[in-house]
Structure 1
Amino acid sequence: MNAMGNLYQRVGALPFLFVVSFAVFGSQQPRFLSVANIVNVATQSSYLVIVALAQTLVIIAAGFDLSVGASIALASIVLANLMLTGGDPLWCILLGGLGSVSVGLLVGLVNGTFVAVTRVSPLIVTLGTMTAVQGVALMLSSGMPIFGLPEAFNATFALGSLWGIPVPTIAAVLVCAAVHVLLSQTTLGRHIYAVGSSPRAAHISGVPVRRTLIITYALTGLLTGVAAFLLTARVGSGEPNLAGNFPLMSIAAAVLGGVALRGGEGTAFGAAMGAVSIVLLTNGMDLIGIGSFSQMLVLGTVLVFAAVVDTFRQTGRI
């Protein structure tokens, strides 16, 4: 029991979740273990991986971002409108991509500035931002999807592949590598961990706490814009209600991957694998015929379980 406890303290529940998923779903549905399905899971999880990595940055800095879903929706509407300006499809796609990333960056800067300057709880700030941004997305779109995007957009960024690897998967891997380098190899990364561990101690040590928070939330917004670009390509239209469940799912993925809710601890790889585990769980439930309502119950339980695991790892109780 002590050995199991030590293993649990080091890696958390994620490896056990993978083992249970493969054992249960693999025994119930042979297709679950097929190469085609594993590739499908890798592709489908790419979007949540990117948002979970974005969420990881602010959680490590002892914050949250509940506005990631609304930010994705607004970015989707903005990029769709920009792509409909006409002209060369390549130019329209580039313009839409720039618009998507700019929207995410702007929302992130607003969040970071309010959190850093007013010192209001990130939960309250991003909850307010989520509501306002979602309202803007609905107003710009009149609550309706925007169709007519260039065919090359979907064909390249949703269905395309490079060396046999789907483009969304490549994007997720590149984002994971970039976040890993940022957190482990840069001064900003060390500052993010320091602020998350203790803002007061970080300030005394000379860390620019406010600037670090603003940059961190801005980077989270930028990555959210990247996810919005890829998700819009996947659905083929600007969607005002896109990614509504991503705020909680991204937090659950990060926590399942070992990112501490209290801040100051976590890795990019862990968060990415946490996102993959959630998509793997959903995929397995789809294959064995579990209904959508029951899936909501299971995913909600996983979210609570992730929070409990995080608390137990912090306190050492097991």
Structure 2
Amino acid sequence: MSAADATRHPGAPARSGFPIRLGFLPVLLIAVVIGMSLVSPQFYGPINIINILRNASLLTIVACGQAIVIIAGGFDLSVGAVIALASVVTAKVMGMAALVFPGNDAAIIACGVLAGLGSGLAVGLVNGICVAKLKVSGFVVTLGTMSAAAGVGLMITSGIPVYGMPESFVKQFGRAQFLGLPTAIYVAIAVVLVMIFVQRRTLFGRYVFAIGGNAEAATISGVSVNRHLVGTYVLSGVLAAATGILLTAQVGSGQASFGGDRMMLQSIAAAVIGGVSLRGGIGRIEIVTVSALFLTILSNALNLLQIDSRLQPVFLGVIMVAAVAAEELSRRRKARV
């Protein structure tokens, strides 16, 4: 399929390879839910359900950005470090803004949130420019910015949590509940809806599919490949930063320990298990959302079953390998037809 066809029919490249994953993922999800309901009564407790939904929401936001980058044929290993960097930047800036705008919570919060999002945008911009303009491997670039962002976060805080944020930011936003659900859930729903719209109804979404499917064909068809590649990394950085801000509001402090390798690995796993092809050009945000929920429920189930935390990444690794193997088998089967 040419890039022109991909831009005219954005759903076409995304559907191939989905029947296996789309049918298998809900089955796994239902199996885990039923199994845990029989094994642990705590699983259906209101507090546990809210924790699952909150954690799934945070993972979903990061995974949406990660999925867009992978669909375009790249990788973003820096998302975990960006979460931590945005957290400490947000908290630090709010503390400084409080001295400039004493008693003006709106101005203080606005300064902190803009600074946090700006830090994610800056990292994403560096990633995108290095990949698109300098033609450096996305894996290598984001590995480097991951280390740099984590180092900056530790340097700013010296490993000590940063406090001094307005109580309204923590209590009325981070820890608030509307209709019994945390704020993070509504933010995640908004992000998912916007991302679905971007994928299906905008030229950016169509061009991302085209670039991931065949970058050379996309260039010949007149697509500004470099600009859209930079856009995917910027989007991933901003969404990771938004997750860091939500975590900061929830915990009440900026911490350089947020995110880390775990969130990075989980975001990639959510994308891959949700049907995003590592070869690029294939993937849907709504399926990635289901995948993020599945991974969160699985992690929660392992905790309730008191599985050693050192063994839990093994389950994630096995599922990721199975998902990639399923994709490869599906590709080879189609190649024979």
TM range (shorter): over 0.9
What residue is the counterpart of 1:162 in the other structure? 178
Change (3 A) 1:7 1:170: closer
The 10-residue stretch of structure 1 (63-72 or 30-39) with the greater mean CA deviation from structure 2: 30-39
Displacement of 1:39: 3.2
1:69 and 2:85 matched: no
User: CA 1:231/1:200 → structure 2, altered by over 3 Å: closer, same or farther?
Assistant: same
Equivalent position SS for 1:14: helix
- Comparing 307-316 with 60-69, greater Cα deviation is found at 307-316
Match of 2:267 in 1: 250
For the pair 1:290 / 2:307, whether they are aligned, the reply is yes
Q: Find the aligned partners of 2:35 and 2:180 in 1 and give their Cα distance.
A: 29
- Please state if 1:272 is matched with 2:283: no
**Matched-pair contact (CA < 8 Å) for 1:69–1:247:** yes
SS of structure 1 residue aligned to 2:223: coil
- Structure 2 residue aligned with 1:306: 323
Aligned partners of 2:130, 2:20: CA distance in 1, in Å?
35
The 8 Å contact of residues 12 and 256 in structure 1, kept in 2 or not, is answered as no
CA pair 233-203 structure 1, distance change in 2 beyond 3 A: same
8 A Cα contact 1:146 1:237, kept in partner: yes
Alignment of 1:162-311 (within 5 A): 162-244=178-260, 245-311=262-328
Secondary structure of the 2:310 match is helix
Offset at residue 10 of structure 1 (A) = 5.8
The 1-side partners of 2:62 and 2:173 are apart by: 17
Q: Which of 136, 152, 158 in structure 2 is aligned with 1:142?
A: 158
Q: Which amino acid aligns with 1:44?
A: N
* 1:141, distance to aligned residue in structure 2 (A): 1.3
Instruction: Say if 2:42 is the partner of 1:25.
Output: no
Seen in structure 2, the aligned counterparts of structure 1 residues 278 and 167 have a Cα distance that, compared at 3 Å, is same
The unaligned stretches of length 5 or more in structure 1 are: 1-5
1:12 CA drift (Å): 5.5
When the two structures are aligned, how many residues end up with a matched partner? 312
> What TM-score does the superposition give when structure 1 sets the normalisation length?
0.92
Q: Contact between 2:20 and 2:326, CA under 8 Å: does it hold in 1?
A: no
Cα RMSD for the two superposed structures? 1.8
* Alignment partners' CA distance in 2, 1:43 and 1:275: 11
Map 1:36-75; keep pairs closer than 5 Å. Answer: 36-75=47-86
Contact 2:22 2:287 in 1 (8 A): no
Distance (Å, rounded) in 2 between the aligned partners of 1:19 and 1:316: 28
| Distance in 1 separating the partners of 2:149 and 2:21 | 38
1:161 shift after superposition: 2.0
In the alignment, the residues of structure 1 paired with residue 68 and residue 172 of structure 2 have an alpha-carbon distance, to the nearest angstrom, of 29
Q: Does the 8 Å contact 1:255/1:310 carry over to 2?
A: no
C-alpha offsets along residues 189-230 of structure 1, whole Å, 9 cap, x if unaligned? 100000000000101111111111011111111111211110
1:283 maps to amino acid? N
Between 1:286-295 and 1:63-72, the stretch displaced more is 286-295
Give the conservation status (yes or no) of the 8 Å contact 2:79–2:146.
yes
Q: Amino acid of the residue matched to residue 151 of structure 1? A: E
* Alpha carbons of structure 1 residues 152 and 51: separation in structure 2 relative to 1, 3 Å: same
Q: 2:145 aligns with which of 129, 137, 145?
A: 129
Structure 1 residues 313 and 13, CA gap change in structure 2 (3 angstroms): farther
Which stretch of the first structure deviates more once superposed, 55-64 or 84-93? 84-93
Q: CA deviation at 1:76?
A: 1.0
Cα distance per residue 1:202-260 (max 9 Å; x no partner):
01111111111011111111111211110111222111121011111100001111111
Q: 1:12 touches 1:313 (CA, 8 Å); kept in 2?
A: no
**Corresponding residue of 2:93:** 82
Deviates more, 1:214-223 or 1:29-38: 29-38
Structure 1 residue 168 displacement after superposition = 0.4
CA distance in 1, matches of 2:65, 2:174: 20
2:129 is aligned, of 113, 119, 125, to 113
Using the aligned pairs only, state the percent identity.
41
Tell me which amino acid in the other structure corresponds to 1:288: L
Amino acid at match of 2:259: A
User: Which residues of structure 2 form unaligned runs of 5+?
Assistant: 1-16
